[in-house]
Amino acid sequence: MRLRVAQLLCLGIFVGCTATTKPPVNTGDTTKKAQPQPAPTPPQEPTIIEPEPEPEPETRQDPNAEADPAHRCRLHDDCTNSCSLGAVNRYWYEIHYPDGDRCEDGCTSKGFEAPRCEQGTCVAYRQGSKEPSCTQQPVKYRAVEIPKKFSCSTAKDCHVTCSLGAINQAYFESLTDFRDCRDGCSSVGTDWPQCQNGLCVSYRLGNPSPHCTQREDDN
């Protein structure tokens, strides 16, 4: 019996000694390796964005500013035909030619139509077409004697009052017991007077004002 046990024990030891242990499967290195980092980007110069220059404000020029007073207009109705001067501003014409102008076969002869205001100037039309020979003709002023109180050399010589309209500035300052009215020739819409052919001319809403030019005091 003891011999049998000894044999079995020896056999167990032999088997245990001769048994091979299966090597562990190599699953790779489980240690987390540091990933290569990209090279640092060199610091860049800050981009300076220059502010865009502000656009210059649009200059809105009155097209009438380039036209002389005799031909200046805003509406078709501002224009009229004259015999020797062609198409002109009707208010300018009334002031400087109160009796009209006389000639033969001029710009009021047969075939002429009502003038039109185009790009700020009066344009003559004849039989449906523009008539250059009667458009923007050289300005002609009559030789007239102008009372001192309405006379001028430049626009700075002129002033405007309610009752007198456009008058000479120095004359106005010489008045001692002057009583003016309200509204009248100095109401809203009145422009600064202009000097034309030595005469202070009243202006309202861009047109000469015959009613307030060479006006006598109504007081």
pLDDT beyond 60 at 55: no
Do 202 and 169 reside in the same domain of the chain? yes
Do 154 and 196 reside in the same domain of the chain? yes
Between residues 54 and 135, which one has the greater pLDDT?
Answer: 135
Asked whether residue 75 is assigned to any structural domain, the reply reads: yes
Is there a contact between 70 and 78 (Cβ–Cβ < 8 Å)?
A: no
Facing residues of 82 across strands? 86
Q: Select from 102, 134, 166 the last residue of a domain.
A: 134
- Report the chain's terminal Cα–Cα distance, integer Å: 165
Asked whether residue 163 is assigned to any structural domain, the reply reads: yes
| pTM score, whole prediction | 0.64
pLDDT computed for residue 178 by the predictor: 80
Count of beta carbons in the 10 Å neighbourhood of residue 83: 17
At residue 66 the predicted structure's pLDDT band, cuts being 50, 70 and 90, is: very low
At residue 26 the predicted structure's pLDDT band, cuts being 50, 70 and 90, is: low
At residue 57 the predicted structure's pLDDT band, cuts being 50, 70 and 90, is: very low
Looking at this protein, which amino acid is placed at residue 97?
A: Y
Do 195 and 153 reside in the same domain of the chain? yes
Asked whether residue 193 is assigned to any structural domain, the reply reads: yes
Q: Collect contacts of 58-63 with beta carbons under 8 A, ≥24 apart.
A: 62/120, 63/119, 63/120
Count of structural domains within the chain: 2
- The residue range of the domain holding 78 is 63-134
pLDDT beyond 60 at 12: no
Lowest mean pLDDT among 33-42, 61-70, 187-196: 61-70
Asked whether residue 206 is assigned to any structural domain, the reply reads: yes
- Beta carbons within 8 Å of 162's beta carbon, 6+ residues apart: 180, 181, 182, 183, 184, 185, 186, 187
